[in-house]
Structure 1
Amino acid sequence: MTSLQLSAKEEMVEKFLDTAARGDLSQVSTLLSHAPSLINETGYSGWTALMLAARNGHHHVVEKLLSLGCDKFTVNSSSQTAYDIAKFWGHRHIANLLSRSADGCRRILPAADLSPQENYFGRETLDRLSRKRTDKVWLETKQSDSDTIYILFSNLSPMVSTSQEDNSEEQGDIKLCRFRYEDVRDLLQKASTVMIFLGMEKMKNPSSSTSSQTVESISEPPVWFAINTDEDAAALLKRCRGKNCLFPRSPNRDLLKLNEEEAGIVAQARSVLAWHNRYSFCPTCGSSTHLEEGGYKRSCLNSECRSLKGVHNTCYPRVDPVVIMLVIHPDENQCLLGRKKVFPAGMFSCLAGFVEPGETMEEAVRREVEEESGVKVGPVQYVSCQPWPMPSNLMIGCLAVAISTDIKVDENEIEEARWFPRQQVIDSLFRGARSAFIFPPRQTIAHQLIRHWICMNSNL
């Protein structure tokens, strides 16, 4: 009897899903009037009637299902919501319906056309002039130009000057030490030195030049290079004419003290130099490699290596994508934050994790949140990204809406996770150390994501 009932139920579910996929509104309504529980039933790969209707562009069926209270946050085995499916297949009118419905994610997530947000490490002060990277004559000429600027790294730490008299980077802002060709000429002759071309300073107010000026009379802005060497750090510091020069010992903390312009330069330089530091041998055959294209390519010295035939990503600097997400409670007034053991006492931040091969940004967000906290996530929305040169990550900032609220922490990943009420988060932002928890530094995208959520639908 049970098996017969189960078969009858399965047959009813299959019929309902097929009806929704075909867009038969009348039949969908009839079936739901007799069996309302069908509305959120799933079929193959976890697809619901709402997903099938969204996939096939049946706006009227989607509208009906939403009016009857179907769960629009359900995800299939590919971690897609009905909204994701409609958007992927180009049914914009259905995606808009799913995002603006009374109980929909647009009420929780902001509009997709967000104004651009600049994050720390993201400012482009230099024109990278990638077209010049293969021009060896031009690069060699610029290397010895009297206006060219060099920044010096020792073991991937840039030489900086600080306002502190005791040469301590513990307090105060720091500035990059800038060198000319004659200051570093001897270092450039050493095989262990790695030099990369960073770009040319962007012209300020280029339109301000008068029409009487000829192209020849306008001098080019300075070109920048970065060099990394394993020479003795103390000896390198003696090259600097300024006072209070040092190499920061804790990049994750100390590089956050640079101004926005220099932070962007360091992000570019440190990421590429770190790649050279890790890839001096060919990942394909193990032979030695040499630097090309101004430091943006390494070629294998083994003429038989297959990396020399065609384009291979092992030859170019790599960037590791990381999703970092602020998870919003279904009630809209709480957010999920976690802390790692290495965090300063009292600090909580957004959850984060690496994107795996063959994985979308949205899927990575859902997987990482569930792995670290046990919370399931539905809709995901991109907000902004941030280069993070520790050593070469791209932090992809997202907002995500939770579809479950119970927390079960994976202690291998994080130490603790909690739901924080909006008011408590606001208090922490403005009261700092006197509050219930500490915000991540303002230079981090985690801080900006939390602040972005606080400011949604508010006057802050």
Structure 2
Amino acid sequence: MTSLQLGAKEEMVEKFLDAAARGDLTLVSTLLSHVPSLINQKGDSGWTGLMLAARNGHFGVVEALLSQGCDKFLVNSSSQTAYDISKFWGHRNISNLLSRTDEGCQRVLPGSDLHQQENYFSREMLDRLSGKRADKVWMEAKRSDPGTVYLLFSNLNPMISSSKEDEDNRVESRLCRFRFEAVKDLLQKPQTLVIFLGVEKRKTPFSSSSSSSSPLQTEEVTQEPPAWFAISTDEDAAELLKRCREKHSCFPKLPHRDLLKLSEEEAGVVAQARSVLAWHSRYSFCPTCGSSTKMEEGGYKRRCLNSDCRSLKGVHNTCYPRVDPVVIMLVIHPDGNQCLLGRKKIFPTGLFSCLAGFVEPGESMEEAVRREVEEESGVKVGPVSYVSCQPWPMPSSLMIGCLAVAISTDIKVDENEIEDASWFTRQQVTETLLKGPRPALTIPPRQTIAHQLIRHWIGMNSNL
């Protein structure tokens, strides 16, 4: 393509994006009729015409772009979709339009939002096929299948490879994947743990751009989709890394930071694998009688080897992987324009986040929210509303995200729990979201449910 042709194309894209931003439906339609490929073109900071129209409240343009098949799930450089943008700027009619999954979908709860919040670590790219876990013949066939994908874990962390993106100098991490031939020696070792993760979903094929010692071959046509397994071994990490052909492979040393650099799809796989492996690392002995246990059902059950153990009679929850429920809540001031955030001593300077705590036995989610907020900050809470949840594989928690309305405002911090807590205005939080960290306030990264709760509150037009 000549520089003249390139210049004409860039000019056409700029003209289209400007028309979408101004709400010029006639010009948008005319340009698309001549150059249909403009519909998903991106401009500055990765903004599409749909995003610009959503930002400025141009319902007609948004409706037209959707009707012509634009991709509403594209994200800009701030990882915002058009839906996120419309919610943030309070264009409820547009956000409702963007949240619809089909024409027959109707609102079923007063004031509820049809948009299903998907948090980091939550995406399911694999069909878990739990019904196949006890099928030993099928499982063994999948383990030795040449198309099967294996992930290597050491000390609960997956082997990853990293590369720098040129544009923003960001580090992107990918899982290193192996075939059966590359790991069959590990599978034969008695101390190796092998966890069945599932098979690839056909409707959402996974990119195989990140290869390992045995590159994935998307050309292969098989009757069944590839199965995925996670391997945990006590072999020296440095020796394991020699198996990978990627230049910059490693096992993360700071999972709370490094695992947030994976793609949404791979993060979901890691959440499943890491949580199950963490359970095995803690339950190698029977919690009921103290005897040794063995792994069964693809890694989703442990059976006590003591034939007299009562865990072998009936169903016992100690035999299956554990998940710890944690409430994490954004507390809203009674005036509706402030939120309560706290910080721990281990947080970087200026970082504040939502309050959080474990749900206790026999306690409801709502009561856990009220108890934890009062214990940590001294603030009393009234109404509690569920927003969304997030698996958090460090080691195996389910973060239950809520909004809560305060019925008292005086703060008295329990210094054993947190270092500080404060009310922050909507304007302070909005400026931090739009412009980045401020001297007095930094909020958690977008991959955390705390960030998403804060963004959800900013996008609300009114209080609970």
Scaled by the length of structure 1, the TM-score of the pair is 0.71
Any residues of structure 2 matched to 1:12-31 within 5 Å, and which?
none
In the other structure, the counterpart of 1:234 is 238
Any residues of structure 2 matched to 1:224-373 within 5 Å, and which?
224-373=228-377
In structure 1, distance between residues paired with 2:338 and 2:364: 26
Shift of 1:111: 2.4
In structure 2, distance between residues paired with 1:384 and 1:118: 8
Any residues of structure 2 matched to 1:106-185 within 5 Å, and which?
111-113=111-113, 115-163=115-163, 172-185=171-184
Shift of 1:322: 0.1
In structure 2, distance between residues paired with 1:111 and 1:326: 19
Q: Secondary structure, in 3 states, of the residue corresponding to 1:441?
A: coil
The one-letter code of the counterpart of 2:300 is Y
Check conservation: 1:164, 1:244, Cα contact below 8 A: no
In structure 2, distance between residues paired with 1:392 and 1:218: 34
Q: Secondary structure, in 3 states, of the residue corresponding to 1:433?
A: coil
Shift of 1:344: 1.0
In structure 2, distance between residues paired with 1:227 and 1:384: 31
In the other structure, the counterpart of 2:203 is 204
Q: In 2 relative to 1, CA 171–113 (structure 1 residues): closer, same or farther, beyond 3 Å?
A: closer
Shift of 1:435: 4.7
Shift of 1:220: 1.3
Shift of 1:204: 2.4
Shift of 1:112: 3.8
Q: What's the % identity of the aligned pairs? A: 77
Which structure has the larger Rg over C-alpha atoms? 1
In structure 1, distance between residues paired with 2:114 and 2:383: 16
Check conservation: 1:149, 1:180, Cα contact below 8 A: yes
Structure 2: state its 5+ residue gaps.
1-109, 206-220
Shift of 1:146: 0.5
Scaled by the length of structure 2, the TM-score of the pair is 0.71
Structure 1: state its 5+ residue gaps.
1-109, 207-216
Q: Secondary structure, in 3 states, of the residue corresponding to 2:245?
A: coil
Shift of 1:432: 1.3
Check conservation: 1:126, 1:199, Cα contact below 8 A: yes
- Per-residue CA deviations over 1:343-401 (Å, capped at 9, x if unaligned) read 11100000000000000000000000000000000000000000000000000000000
Check conservation: 2:125, 2:204, Cα contact below 8 A: no
The one-letter code of the counterpart of 1:450 is I
Shift of 1:190: 1.1
In structure 2, distance between residues paired with 1:393 and 1:142: 29
The one-letter code of the counterpart of 1:145 is D
Q: In 2 relative to 1, CA 114–421 (structure 1 residues): closer, same or farther, beyond 3 Å?
A: farther
In structure 1, distance between residues paired with 2:440 and 2:349: 11
Q: Secondary structure, in 3 states, of the residue corresponding to 1:256?
A: helix
Check conservation: 1:428, 1:436, Cα contact below 8 A: no
User: How many residues of Structure 1 are paired with residues of Structure 2 in the alignment?
Assistant: 336
In structure 1, distance between residues paired with 2:312 and 2:153: 30
Shift of 1:457: 1.3
